[in-house]
Amino acid sequence: MSETTPGPASDTLLDAWTREQLRLKEQLVEEDRCEWRAYLPDDAHPRARSDERLRLVAGVDLSFYEDDERRALAALVVQSYPDFRVLYTDFAPVELEHPYRAGYLAFREAPPLLALLRKLKENAPELWPQVLFVDGNGTLHPRRFGLACHVGVQADLPTIGIGKNFLQIHEEGEQLTMDAVKRTSRATLLQGGQWFPLRGESGLIYGAAVRTLDSAPNPIFVSVGHRLSLATAVATALCCCRYRVPEPVRQADIMSREYIRRE
């Protein structure tokens, strides 16, 4: 069966991918292993020492062409913090090997994103970011190893997973449902900056529902990608929000779509 045909016929491929996720997960670090600390942009007296301050943030995303389902544009944007000046952009047209499948997004999107990161390290190592925002989940994933983890581990970079839609977790009877999240969001996320952990029946925390702004009632879903704690991931995401979505992923999205539209 063709790899691009979704369905039961590709079970052996999905099994192999599952094993690959569990193998890479052995290298996953879910605690703070980064030399910087987030601080609010409007904090007149940042508490962090100057050499511990967050200065370089980045975002990656893929945008798609109308005609061909497999053609896409991978984008990497590096920005200064806290003023979000765009310091570096790179775009690469790519031919995707695999179709989208929930739970296996990394096998579709990670390769082109990692290629952009390798190129950055080679051509402008001084712009290597302190943290990378990924458009997609990290540990908020059935096997706790989503795209943001995949990219973080393989690039050895602190990463934060940002989901704009909730991915339900039913694995191992966890029962993290859309309904429950919507109810809790409505009841507890009363203003920007508020969030709650997404905790399964087992007690495991997969990520957080975060209301980033007063003006954006719908939460985003933040999870650990690599080399940081959930608390750091949430605090850093909040520090990077001018709009509902953290600025690096927002810029990568906007600029890649603009690039497609203008060519």
From the CB of 54, what's the least distance to DNA, in Å?
23
From the CB of 59, what's the least distance to DNA, in Å?
11
Residue bearing tokens 């990394």: 106
Pick 36 or 166: Cβ nearer DNA: 166
* Site of interaction with DNA (CB under 7 A): 61-64, 66, 100, 102-106, 135-137, 141, 146-148, 161-168, 178-179, 253, 257
CA of 63: how far to CAs of 57, 60, 72, 93, 108, in Å? 20, 10, 6, 10, 13
Ranges assigned E (strand) in 115-200: 131-135, 159-163, 195-199
From the CB of 75, what's the least distance to DNA, in Å?
10
Pick 54 or 62: Cβ nearer DNA: 62
- Give the tokens for residue 104: 């296996």
CA of 149: how far to CAs of 176, 228, 243, in Å? 20, 11, 24
DSSP state at residue 60: E
Pick 53 or 70: Cβ nearer DNA: 70
From the CB of 103, what's the least distance to DNA, in Å?
5
Distance CA 206, CA 196 (A): 11
Pick 54 or 250: Cβ nearer DNA: 250
CB-based contact 209:181 (threshold 8 Å): yes
> What is the distance of C-alpha 63 from the center of its chain?
15
CB-based contact 59:80 (threshold 8 Å): no
Pick 98 or 227: Cβ nearer DNA: 98
From the CB of 258, what's the least distance to DNA, in Å?
10
CA of 124: how far to CAs of 34, 110, 133, in Å? 20, 21, 19
From the CB of 243, what's the least distance to DNA, in Å?
13
From the CB of 168, what's the least distance to DNA, in Å?
3
Pick 81 or 104: Cβ nearer DNA: 104
Pick 86 or 178: Cβ nearer DNA: 178
Distance CA 219, CA 146 (A): 19
- Give the tokens for residue 256: 């890649």
Distance CA 173, CA 170 (A): 5
